[in-house]
Each structure stands twice: as structure tokens, then as C-alpha cells.
């Protein structure tokens, strides 16, 4: 009869005791709980705040000051100081410099110490005796063995060759990126010339339309002829709008390459860069001569040599690692004091080394050999790439040169203009029909547009050949 009542009372008492204990713990541990909460809160803020800050960082970068007339030299100068890809390549060089510091570092010595008490020892009757235990040790962490065995020297050889390769890779990145900038600069110059020519054409078309509208009003031409002139005017307007958009797109592309991070201003470029000339180094150049220069200068090809040397040193290092790391140590121990001490002061010298019984660096050696094979094949591939770049670049240069010469010295530009002007005079005098005039006008426009493209392709081929050889040719 009393059991249920007793059980419920017991449960109530236990609950009350637990609540009281909890209150006492909260009261006594309140400072500790607040400290823990503060630390946890700081940790959470430390984890969440950067993410929140990254999401909230939507500020548009400020506009970059560009000269009103941006020359190619100015563009390259801005790129060399602000180009993002070039800055990334420089960071890789810094990382390789850090690897040298790691590889050449001498291991720090290890100091150890211990204190203890001897159980079941009674120093009664011995005034100089005690149950204290002291131990002090010093180890060289295999620093001496690493230097004498040549492991440290091999690590430095690996990283120094890697650093040389990284520096050349940075130069190669600059070579490749500067070609892209030069090509983009040519595209802007081409777009500006195309815009100017389109403006000239559309202005001339507007004047022609005005003249023909007057003729139509006087009955000199029919409605069909006027519609054809209006079509030509609208086509010229279409070409002009396309030229405006192309010029803006070309400026944005160039600004991105040179490192502009904010809004892109409407800068102008020096269109004189598209003037046809033969660079002096290319006046008597041959493909074989350019190829020899490329093998002497191409930074990517030279870098593969350093990468191969680094991989070769890595093989030697992996094999040298089979020799165990031998650590030298000196230890001092003492248990108690006085002449009757349990262990009088003792100095010991020790040597420790792992026994290469089960594993002798087979995996590391195999990986190092595979890395060497990869770099050797990469060097062969880079060699073939240099040959291909020079051959294709020289062929593109010669082809573009012939097209421009046909336009300028061959008389194609002059002939198209002469044909258009004469046909216009003949049409005004009634000796030619409107179809002849419109055909001559379209041929003149197409020839000029083609010339702008041809001279752009010519200088692009020159810069491409510079990239292939690894030297300035203009």
C-alpha cells in the first residue's frame, strides 16, 4: 500500500535534490559558464563572419585611371603592374622561394625533461637522500646525419631547380599574356578604324540619299531607284551601329587583360600601329634562323630543362632517403641526492635510427622516376611545340604580308576607289546605271573593310611570331 506513495516521494525528493544541485552548480560555475559561452560565441563569429563578409562584399571596384590615348607601351606597363594572371605567376615564384627555405632548414634540436617520485622509498635517516627523480635529454633530430648524408643538399638541389623553373614560367606567362594584350590592342585599333570608316560611309550615304530624293522629286529617277538608295543608307547605318558595339567590346576585352577591375572608360588607342611596315629584324629573317633563336630564348623550353633537373635530383633524394635518419642524443638522469641516492647522477649518450627492414622507399623512388619521365616527355613536347609555333607563325606572317602588299602596292585599294569614283561620275552623266554605281560602292566598302582586317592580321602575325621566338621583333 505504501510502495507507490513511497516511490513517488522518492522520485520527488530526487528531482528536488537534482534541481537544487543544478542551481548550486549554476551559481558557483556562472563565471566559468559565461567564459565558455564567450569563447563559443567568438568561435562561431570567427567561422561565420568571413562568410557573411564575403557574401556582403558587393562593392564595385573604383574606376582605373587610363590615359585618354592609351598607347601599346602604356597598356603593357599597366599590365605588368596590375595584371592578375601575372600577379598569380609571381605568387607561384614566392611559393617556390619558400620551398627553398623549407628544404634548407636545419632541424631544431629537441630538449626533453622529466620529474618524478619514487614510490615505497623511505629516505628516513639519510639527510641528503630524497625520492625525487630528474631527467634531462637533448637530441639533434638527425640534423647532423641529414647534412653528412647529403639529404639536405639534394633537397636544396630539387627546390633550387624548381625555383628556376618557376621564375621562367613567370617569364613565359608574361610572354603569352603580352601577346594576348597586343592582339587585343590591335582589335581595338581595328574596331576604331572600322568605326571611322563606317561613319564616313554612313555620312556619304546620307548625302547621296538627299541628292536622290531631290532627283526623285524632280522625276529624274523612279521610286525603285530611290528605294535601293534608301536600302544602301540603312545598310550603312547597320554597319555603323555594329562598329560602335564592336569598338566598345574590344575596349572592354583589352581593359580586362591589362588589369582594370572597375568600370571601363571609353579610352582611345593609337591606330598608327596598324600602319604597314616590315620590322627590321624580319627584313631578312628565315624560318631556320627564327627557329634557332626560339630554342635559345623560349622561357617555357628552358623551364622544362630545370624541371627535368629537379626531377632527377628528386630521384637521387628518394634513393638517399633509404639511409635511415640517425639521431644523436645526450641524457642526464638522477634519482635522489647524496652518496646513497637510488641512482647517482648519470650522463648517457645515445644513437637511434629506424631499421629499414620492411620498407625501403620503393614508392617514393617509383613516384620520383615517374615524375622524371613526365618532365622528360614534357621537354620533348615543348620542343615540338616551339617548332610548330615558329613554323605556323612564320607562315601566317608571310601570308598576311602578301595580302597587305596586294592591297597597298598591288593597287587593290586604289583600284576599288577609282572604280567607285568613275562609276559615280558616269552615273551622274547618265553613262552608267544605278546597279553599276551600287556595285562599285559595295566593292569599295568591302575592299576597305578587308584591308583593315588584313593589316590587323599582319600585325597579329608579327606579334604571334614574337611570341613563338620569345623576342621583340617590331
Could you write out the three-class secondary structure of 260-294?
A: CCCCCCCCEECHHHHCCCCCHHHHCCCHHHHHHHH
CA–CA gap between residue 393 and residue 462 (Å, rounded):
8
| Domains of the chain by residue range | 72-107+151-322+361-469, 109-141+325-359
Q: Are 236 and 201 in contact (CB under 8 A)?
A: yes
Distance of CA 142 to the CA centre of its chain: 39
Q: Can you tell me which residue has the cell 555603323?
A: 240
Measured at the CA of 106, the angle between CA 159 and CA 351, to 5 degrees, comes to 125
Q: What pTM, to 2 d.p., does this model score? A: 0.76
- Full 3-state SS string of 95-153: HHHHHHHHHHCCCCCEEEEEEEECCCCCCCCCCCCCCEEEEEEEECCCHHHHHHCCHHH
Return the CATH number of the domain spanning residue range 72-107+151-322+361-469. Answer: 1.20.1600.10
For residues 251 and 268, give the distance between their C-alpha atoms in angstroms, rounded to a whole number.
9
Tens-digit pLDDT profile for the chain (474 aa)?
A: 434 443 444 444 334 444 444 444 344 444 433 433 444 444 434 444 444 444 445 566 676 778 899 999 999 999 998 888 888 889 999 999 999 999 999 999 999 999 988 887 776 766 667 778 889 999 999 989 889 999 999 999 999 999 999 999 999 999 999 999 999 999 999 999 999 999 999 999 999 999 889 989 998 888 998 999 999 999 999 999 999 999 999 999 999 999 888 888 889 999 999 999 999 999 999 999 999 999 999 999 999 999 999 999 999 999 999 999 999 999 998 887 766 667 778 899 999 999 988 999 999 999 999 999 999 999 999 999 999 999 999 999 999 999 999 999 888 999 999 999 999 899 888 888 888 989 999 999 999 999 999 999 999 999 999 999 999 887
| Residue 356 three-state SS | coil
- The length of the chain in residues reads 474
Q: Is 452 helix (H, G, I), strand (E, B) or coil?
A: helix
Contacts 24+ apart (CB under 8 A), 94-99: 95/166, 96/159, 96/162, 96/163, 96/165, 96/166, 96/167, 97/163, 99/159, 99/162, 99/163
Contacts (Cβ under 8 Å, ≥6 apart) of 185: 72, 75, 254, 269, 273
Mark 25-63 as b/e (b = at least 16 C-beta within 10 Å). Answer: eeeeeeeeeeeeeeeeeeeeeeeeeeeeeeeeeeeeeee
Amino acid at each position: 500500500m505504501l510502495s507507490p506513495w513511497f516511490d513517488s516521494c522518492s522520485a520527488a525528493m530526487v528531482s528536488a535534490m537534482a534541481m537544487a544541485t543544478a542551481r548550486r552548480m549554476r551559481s558557483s560555475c556562472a563565471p566559468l559558464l559565461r567564459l565558455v559561452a564567450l569563447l563559443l560565441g567568438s568561435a562561431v563569429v570567427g567561422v561565420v563572419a568571413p562568410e557573411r563578409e564575403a557574401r556582403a562584399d558587393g562593392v564595385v571596384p573604383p574606376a582605373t585611371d587610363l590615359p585618354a590615348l592609351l598607347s601599346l607601351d602604356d597598356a603593357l606597363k599597366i599590365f605588368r603592374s596590375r595584371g592578375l594572371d601575372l600577379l598569380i605567376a609571381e605568387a607561384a615564384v614566392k611559393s617556390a622561394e619558400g620551398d627553398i627555405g623549407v628544404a634548407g632548414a636545419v632541424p631544431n634540436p629537441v630538449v626533453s625533461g622529466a620529474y618524478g617520485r619514487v614510490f615505497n622509498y623511505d629516505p628516513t635517516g639519510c639527510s641528503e637522500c630524497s625520492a625525487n627523480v630528474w631527467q634531462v635529454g637533448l637530441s639533434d633530430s638527425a640534423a647532423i646525419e641529414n647534412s653528412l648524408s647529403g639529404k639536405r643538399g639534394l633537397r636544396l638541389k630539387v627546390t633550387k631547380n624548381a625555383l628556376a623553373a618557376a621564375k621562367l614560367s613567370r617569364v613565359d606567362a608574361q610572354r603569352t599574356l603580352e601577346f594576348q594584350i597586343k592582339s587585343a590592342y590591335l582589335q581595338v585599333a581595328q574596331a576604331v578604324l572600322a568605326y571611322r570608316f563606317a561613319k564616313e560611309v554612313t555620312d556619304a550615304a546620307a548625302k547621296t540619299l538627299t541628292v536622290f530624293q531631290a532627283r526623285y522629286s524632280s522625276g529624274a529617277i523612279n521610286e525603285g531607284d530611290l528605294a535601293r538608295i534608301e536600302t544602301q543608307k540603312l545598310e550603312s547605318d547597320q554597319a555603323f551601329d555594329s562598329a560602335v558595339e564592336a569598338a566598345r567590346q574590344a575596349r572592354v576585352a583589352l581593359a580586362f587583360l591589362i588589369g582594370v577591375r572597375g568600370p571601363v572608360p571609353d579610352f582611345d588607342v593609337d591606330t598608327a600601329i596598324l600602319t604597314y611596315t616590315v620590322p627590321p629584324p624580319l627584313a631578312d629573317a628565315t624560318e631556320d634562323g627564327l627557329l634557332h633563336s626560339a630554342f635559345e630564348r623560349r622561357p617555357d623550353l628552358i623551364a622544362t630543362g630545370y624541371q627535368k633537373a629537379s626531377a632527377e635530383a628528386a630521384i637521387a633524394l628518394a634513393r638517399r632517403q633509404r639511409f635511415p635518419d640517425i639521431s644523436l642524443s645526450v641524457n642526464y638522469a638522477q634519482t635522489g641526492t647524496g652518496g646513497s641516492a637510488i641512482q647517482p647522477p648519470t650522463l648517457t649518450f645515445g644513437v637511434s635510427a629506424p631499421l629499414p627492414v620492411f620498407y625501403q622507399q620503393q614508392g617514393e623512388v617509383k613516384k620520383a622516376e615517374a615524375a622524371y619521365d613526365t618532365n622528360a616527355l614534357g621537354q620533348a613536347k615543348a620542343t615540338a611545340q616551339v617548332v610548330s609555333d615558329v613554323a605556323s607563325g612564320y607562315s601566317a606572317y608571310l601570308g598576311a604580308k602578301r595580302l597587305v602588299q596586294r592591297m597597298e602596292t598591288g593597287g587593290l585599294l586604289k583600284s576599288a576607289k577609282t572604280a567607285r569614283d568613275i562609276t559615280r561620275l558616269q552615273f551622274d552623266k547618265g553613262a552608267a546605271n544605278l546597279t553599276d554605281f551600287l556595285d562599285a560602292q559595295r566593292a569599295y566598302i568591302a575592299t576597305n573593310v578587308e584591308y583593315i582586317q588584313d593589316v590587323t592580321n599582319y600585325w597579329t602575325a608579327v606579334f604571334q611570331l614574337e611570341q613563338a621566338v620569345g623576342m621583340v621583333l617590331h
